[in-house]
Structure 1
Amino acid sequence: MLLEFAAQQGLIIANTYFKKHKNRYWTWESPNGITKNQIDFILSSQHGIVEDCSVITSVGISSDHRMVRAKIHIDRKLARLKIIRNQKKSKLNILKLKDLKNDFQLELKNRFACLDIENADIDTKYELISNTIVEAAEEIASRERKTKQTTEEDKANEELDKKRKELREVEDKSPKQKIEYSQLVKTVRKKRRERSRKRKKQQIESILESGKGPKQITKMNSKKTRICQMRQKNGSITTDREESLNVCTEFYQDLYSSKTDENSGTRVPTKSTDDTEVPNITV
């Protein structure tokens, strides 16, 4: 019975995992002192944390059972990370739900009136009732999604960037357009740097206000910048990651491969910038 339960629930019986003296196995003694059985067990869902399990024989208590002790080791940092990852962010605004408790109770009453759970088993009843309560709460006080707020400064920067891209696409630029394009490039870069510094300053202030230490700031600054676009051989810009990887691959293949003469099949000698003759070391 115990074995079937442990197998069904994915549990281990810690008493049976460690070899002990035969006197350290039994946990219950009959009143006449003749019969001794092992009927007390420690079950665990994680095999890796149990380091030892044994019976304590030297505890002076007036009982026919002996205490069972297990030694476990838990990595607190790892356990905390697992808990945080498994936690789902609540979609409910609790304060709003408290303010609208009358509406919430009315919504629950209407939903439970339509719920048919008389002939259902206990597990189905629990699932239906809990889902009904959660759905009613989300209907009344769901948390609003935060939308990105666009400031006037952001709009102005977008207009400058849009104008810069339009001028970049012009093939035959006039001298005036070239000067305007150069100034736009400098202005857009300056605005981007200012925006990046402002965002980092806000992030650092938020980290310090929340009580987190310098390690979090260092971690924030150590993020690698991802290349979002690449220029292909034909001059077009691609933002597709696979195409960008192909562009990089072709570039380095051309860079490190030997350039040969197509007609003769021999390597083209390297030209020197000075008058010193480069010796031919190839065969």
Structure 2
Amino acid sequence: MSAAATPTWDPAQYLRHAGHRARPFTDLLARVPDLPGERPRIADLGCGPGNVTALLAERWPTAHITGYDNSAEMLDQAHVQHEGPSAGGGRLGFAHADVRTWTPEEPYDLIVSNATLQWVPGHADRFAHWVQGLRPGGTFAFQVPGNFDAPSHRLMRDLARRHGLADTLRHRDAVLAPRDYLTGLTGLGCSADVWETTYVHLLSGEDPVLDWVKGTGLRPVLTALADDPEARDAFLDDYRDALRAAYPAGPHGTPFPFRRIFAVARKEA
């Protein structure tokens, strides 16, 4: 298994930009249609610290919701901060699972994934299993980053090669083009809505783009260098300088364009 597939996660670092990171999930949920069950069964694949999984309980307060993740650190945070009954009589819980192999063991009304599938090689091959696990009229919805050609990630790849860490990153085929997602989902008999959006986040603080990627895309590199602080600091110094040039601060903060790809697929009722 590659280092890119098993990064060590830091919930506190991830949540430093929680507001910006949650925005795409709320936009995704806005396009999810009504669910077939009165007490829906919902799975959140790659739930992380559970902060956006909790938004599912706000939208469907009678639902039985399970957030799945393979990071013990993230699940610990989710259990403490978000697990328990919801206002409408539903329940929010969390469990360990590997999205690469997870298969529904019962019918679901909604299977959703937020900024996770880019970590799963060949994730589109799993779609048939997940759609099969939906109730008639159920929905599979996800969003993934589409910014692997942005300066933040190009610079990350270039520096990883220079520092002998090229194998830690898997960017080239991390996600598909929107048209390919549309073709795959409609080929499974779903009606599909696929789109892309570029957010321009206005980040505050010193070196905010570096701070952002330290919570997500840079995790494989940080994991690989965890036992070599000197090499880690050398990498971060080079990367910091490059990001400052690529994303100069403005008078009100640092603009950070971030492209994302969305898909909502509804199984025929």
TM-score per shorter chain, which class?
Answer: under 0.3
Bigger relative contact order, structure 1 or 2 (CA pairs below 8 A, ≥6 apart)? 2
Larger-gyration structure (1/2): 1
Higher helix residue share: 1
Provide the TM-score with structure 1 as the length reference.
0.18
Higher strand residue share: 2
Provide the TM-score with structure 2 as the length reference.
0.19
